[in-house]
Amino acid sequence: MSIHESPNPQRPRLLLHTALTPAMRERLQLQFELLDAAALEISRSSSLSGQVRAMLCNAQTVIGSEQLLQWPALELIVVIGVGMDGIDLDAAEQMGIQVCNTPAISAEDIADHTLALLLTATREIVQANEFVRHGRWLRGRYPPTLRFSGQRMGIVGLGCIGRAVAKRSQAFDMSIAYTGRAPKNDVPYRWCGSVLELAADVDFLVLCASGGPATRGLIDAEVLQALGPQGVLVNVGRGSIVDEQALRQALQERTIAAAALDVFVHEPQVPEALMDLPNTVLTPHMASSTRHGLQAMLAQAESYLLKHFGLPEITD
């Protein structure tokens, strides 16, 4: 792939840290000069980097303060997705760089995936599938599983995603409790002052919080002990929120019943111990990854870019 994708120097230079659909790339080329981050790294072209005015990233992109200094003309970073913990937000603010994401758009898909993970873990869908496929049903019935409906749901982080999870949980007659930075005045759910208090009073603990120093290792051995042997942990937030060693031990010793994880500390590396356990459900950070959702997030990202630079809407 060539570094330049549009020869018009009047167009703002947009650095791509994420793959785009052919249609999206073609649309953006009408208004921006596109630079591929990998190709630019190979070329080490300071003349190009000095004129980059915007970046398009995904939730896995890591951009530290030293990297930001390489882009003196940078004005805007748009993250396709929710997580922005890979970006040094403090440094960006100090440099006057605006950072935005697309949380509301992906919230519905992430909430759907959350409930799917939780249903799969509680009703042991994966294990039951193997039970049938390996002919074990011929020798007897599958043992009873945990109940899903009517249980106590605990949500860590009641943002767009947490609210969408709560809404779906209510359809299953669950009681809702939550914790976060501060109580919300516009919801009827019960507030808990700490994650430990929340874990001790729920059956399902769902992590929808963002990553970063404030939440690193938040779910530790004490929290898992409080969740208890009938409890199920679901993480669709960030892998760093969970102490994976403590989780492995809790699952092995049946301190908790099960865990369903879409995010991990060192993605795409997943601890073998978690993969070997029968009471885990693991997915590859795909909660927001639907075709409809991706199109909507790309459209929102495009809108942010055009609005920031005062460019006209791209029409088909």
- Phi, psi for residue 206 in degrees, rounded to 5: -110, 125
Q: Answer yes or no: are the C-beta atoms of 144 and 156 closer than 8 Å.
A: no
Q: Answer yes or no: are the C-beta atoms of 6 and 33 closer than 8 Å.
A: yes
Active site residue 238: yes
Residue in 11, 27, 113, 285 annotated catalytic: 285
CA distance 314 to 309: 13
Q: What angle do CA 84, 105, 92 make, to 5 degrees?
A: 25
Residue in 41, 253, 267, 292 annotated catalytic: 267
Residue in 238, 244, 248, 302 annotated catalytic: 238
CA distance 9 to 51: 10
Active site residue 308: no
Q: Determine which helix (DSSP H) or strand (DSSP E) holds 224, and give its type and residue range.
A: helix 221-227
134: left (phi over 0), alpha (psi -120 to 50) or beta: alpha
Active site residue 267: yes
Cite the active site residues. Answer: 238, 267, 285
